Amino acid sequence: MMVLLASLDSLLMFARDLYLEGDPYRAILEYKRVLYTLRIEGRDTDTLYSYVLRRMLEAYVALGDPMGGMRALEYWATDHTGRDYRRYLGTLMFLMRDYGQARRVWRGDDTLEAVAGAMLGDGKAYDLLGRPPGLKSPAVAAALSALIPGLGKAYAGRWKDGLYSFAINSSLALGLYLAARDDSKPRMAVYGLAFAYFYLGNIYGSYVAVRKMNERITLEYVSRWLPLF
């Protein structure tokens, strides 16, 4: 028995070393060996089994394979209704950007429900988690770009895109002005359509840029509450 425990300890240390060295794939294989050994000995309800399962799922997350983690959880978990199972399953769904399903799985856990709610745009989630610093208004970005093309993207921190958008729209506006001055209807039609297309695209692009920035900030902020981090 002592020899077996020593062997399991060695496997766990080896798996952890592989994980820390940036090789989560091989770490997963070692964790599975430990889980298999514990299962055939009838120890799949031990605290050690739960610990190894969690470590294996963390390795799947590090590997960037939450779907593989879900399959592993389904196969290796001994209790498919318990709190830990639901927490881990919801986290893997969350990492697959299935925030709605994660929220349903987490139902009853106010904090994790709020984590998913924040990614779904539920403002009430911030009552529990606090508001992530640095969020900006997509509507303000759109208004700024309507006033001065590219300004909304600069507001979102994308200065180069903003300058490019300003240059394109300014060039087209100048072309439209010169065509109108020369009373050239064909040129006016071409420049007018091009300007309208890029001008409206600049407004919409600024709105989307801020939304994506907010999503990135929110994801980084709420990830601290995820069970596998």
Q: How far apart are CA 113 and CA 120, in angstroms?
A: 10
For residue 8, the model assigns a pLDDT of: 76
pLDDT tens across 93-111, in order? 999 999 999 999 999 999 9
Tell whether the torsion through CA atoms of 198, 203, 208 and 210 is positive or negative: positive
Instruction: Please give the full DSSP string across 95-129, using - where no structure is assigned.
Output: HTT-HHHHHHHTTT-HHHHHHHHHHTT-TTHHHHH
89 touches 70 (CB < 8 A): yes
Q: What is the DSSP letter of 81?
A: S
Looking at per-residue pLDDT, the higher value among 46 and 177 belongs to: 177
Q: Are 113 and 106 in contact (CB under 8 A)?
A: yes
Quote the pLDDT of residue 183: 82
pLDDT at 136 over 90: yes
Q: Where do we find the tokens 């100048």?
A: 174
Mean pLDDT of 56-71: 93
Q: Is the distance from CB of 150 to CB of 142 less than 8 angstroms? A: no
- Long-range pairs for 1-6: beta carbons < 8 A, 24 or more residues apart: 4/37
**Confidence class for position 189, pLDDT limits 50, 70, 90:** very high
Please check whether residue 69 is in contact with residue 57, taking contact to mean a CB–CB distance below 8 angstroms. Answer: yes
Distance of alpha carbon 59 from alpha carbon 53, whole angstroms: 10
Distance CA(227)–CA(92), nearest Å, equals: 10
CATH class given for the domain over 2-131: mainly alpha
| In contact, 61 and 228? CB cutoff 8 Å | yes
Tokens found for residue 13: 């240390």
Q: 3-class SS at 30?
A: helix
d(CA 92, CA 68): 9
What CA–CA distance (Å, rounded) separates 224 from 226? 6
- Residue 4 identity: L
Q: State how far Cα 134 lies from the chain centre.
A: 17
- Residue 137 DSSP symbol: -
What are the extents of the domains in the chain? Answer: 2-131, 138-218
> What is the structure's pLDDT at 38?
87
Position 229 confidence tier, pLDDT thresholds 50, 70, 90: low
Q: Cβ–Cβ contacts within 10 Å for residue 131, how many?
A: 13
